[in-house]
Amino acid sequence: NVYQCQMGKQTMGTAVHAWHTRADNKMYRLQFPQSPLLKLEAYDRYEMDEYPLGTNACVAVISYTGYDMEDAMVINKSSFQRGFAHGTVIKVERINLVSMSEKKTMFRMDPKHPYDTVGCDGLPIPGRRYML
């Protein structure tokens, strides 16, 4: 069925096991995919547990007014902070290093102010802009 194939392409689960060695232009990956609570017989036959396709969400549908939100969802803040529906978009960018050999750019700490660029944990400060 063409409709079901298109719906399968819209999922963000684990499309492949060796996702870090792929050369796709763009790939979507769900950080914490889950298996469904209820499964069909074909789910076990085709070993779909090896490639979970989504998350289990408890959804309550209520019509409060005539102007309801379409394609929207209210998510519990603590469940989102724990990783619910977190995803990654992996993009491939090809860089020709031969054409960049003329540029002599270095990325390093400023020797006059070595600790202005990193936080107390040694990582870059979130939201800070760094110039080359």
132 found inside a domain: no
State how far the Cα of 14 lies from the Cα of 53, in Å rounded to an integer. Answer: 6
Q: If pLDDT is split at 50, 70 and 90, which confidence band does 101 have?
A: low
116 found inside a domain: no
Q: Which domain holds residue 45?
A: 2-91
Of the spans 21-30, 68-77, 78-87, 92-101, which averages the highest pLDDT? 78-87
9 found inside a domain: yes
18 found inside a domain: yes
How many domains does one find in the chain? 1
101 found inside a domain: no
13, 8, 18: which is closest to 53 by C-alpha? Answer: 13
pLDDT at 47 over 80: yes
State how far the Cα of 40 lies from the Cα of 102, in Å rounded to an integer. Answer: 59
128 found inside a domain: no
13 found inside a domain: yes
State how far the Cα of 27 lies from the Cα of 10, in Å rounded to an integer. Answer: 11
126 found inside a domain: no
